[in-house]
Amino acid sequence: MEELCRATNKLKISAPQPLIDTSKIKFSENDMKVISDLKQLYMQTINLDVKMQHEIYNMEKSYEKQHNEIFDKRKKILEDFKKQNHGDATSIENVSKFWLIVLKASYTEFITKDDEKILLHMIDLRSKHYNDDTVQFVLEFTFEKNDYFKNRILTKTYILNCTPNKDDPISFDGAEIVKCEGCQIDWKHPAEREKLVAEPSFFDFFSPPILPEDPEDLNFKDINAILQNDFELGFYLKERVIPKAVVFFTGEIADCQSSDTESETDGSDDDDDDESNGGEEASSNNECEG
């Protein structure tokens, strides 16, 4: 799946700075003939990449059942533990708060105190893959019966583009998420929930903004930035958090997604310490695990 991650999650790739700007080079007629032949070969590699990626998605789908059998066992272990605590989601035992702790350890967006009360009732997180007409995956957040909303499952769907643009096929740089769709949350006390609308919430994740069709729209840039972050987060939850949940829970994983914000905060704290301690060196152990 790392190959798939590299193909799709482009936001983590930073290209080196070029030494020259080749777009300003003037090519001779003979140069152009060779370039044309080379571009034809490049198109062949693109077509191979497209085929390879579809095969990767199909292979991933073929293993979904086996993954779910393992995740079913994980879900049962957590449910049995909670039953031993009489179904008390607020138990002092940390395992009763498994998914809340996992999300707080891996999710860099807002999780408020009110969100935490709701996430105590979360009992599972899965992804489903669809490779027929459109390549997409769906994140499913499953909750036990609770006093907050009627939904048992909240979903977030990510749609991928896996084919080159017919008008500009050479610009194709691998599959990428191009759209996401949330779901309607059926709140049991909508009036009370409305009071919290002004405050950022974890559950905003299920109401992504719609990108304007016109790139000149005043809101296009801001919304596009929000969606790019959303796309990265959705893929990250699918590829790393779902399968590696237990090591996020125990704190045995140091990941880019969960430590970027922390490193910025730690960095500012270290600066303060340097000033107060006469420039004493600060250390950081925020490293990304591969």
Q: Which domain holds residue 184?
A: 2-9+30-268
Residue 140 lies in a domain: yes
Q: Position 30: which residue type?
A: N
Residue 285 lies in a domain: no
Q: Does 37 map to a domain? A: yes
Question: Is 24 contained in some domain?
Answer: no
pLDDT at residue number 49: 86
CA atoms within 13 A on the CB side of 127: 21
pLDDT of residue 254: 63
CATH of the domain at 213: 3.30.1120.90
Q: Which of 83, 73, 67 is nearest to 144 (CA)?
A: 83
Is 47 within a domain?
A: yes
Render 208-226 in DSSP notation, one character per residue: PPPPPS-TTSTTHHHHHHH
- pTM attached to this predicted model: 0.74
Q: What is the mean pLDDT of each run of 10 residues along the chain (290 residues)?
A: 40 58 81 91 89 86 94 96 70 83 86 92 95 88 96 95 80 79 94 77 91 87 88 92 95 60 44 45 38
User: For the chain, how many structural domains are there in total?
Assistant: 1
Return all residues near 155 (Cβ < 8 A) that are at least 6 apart.
Answer: 138, 139, 140, 141, 182, 183, 206
Task: Give the per-residue pLDDT at 197.
Answer: 66
Spatial separation of the C-alpha atoms in residues 134 and 161, rounded to whole Å: 8
Report if residue 289 sits inside a domain: no
Cα–Cα nearest to 242, from 76, 103, 65: 103
Tokens of 78: 């957590």
Q: Is residue 274 part of a domain?
A: no
Q: Is residue 288 part of a domain?
A: no
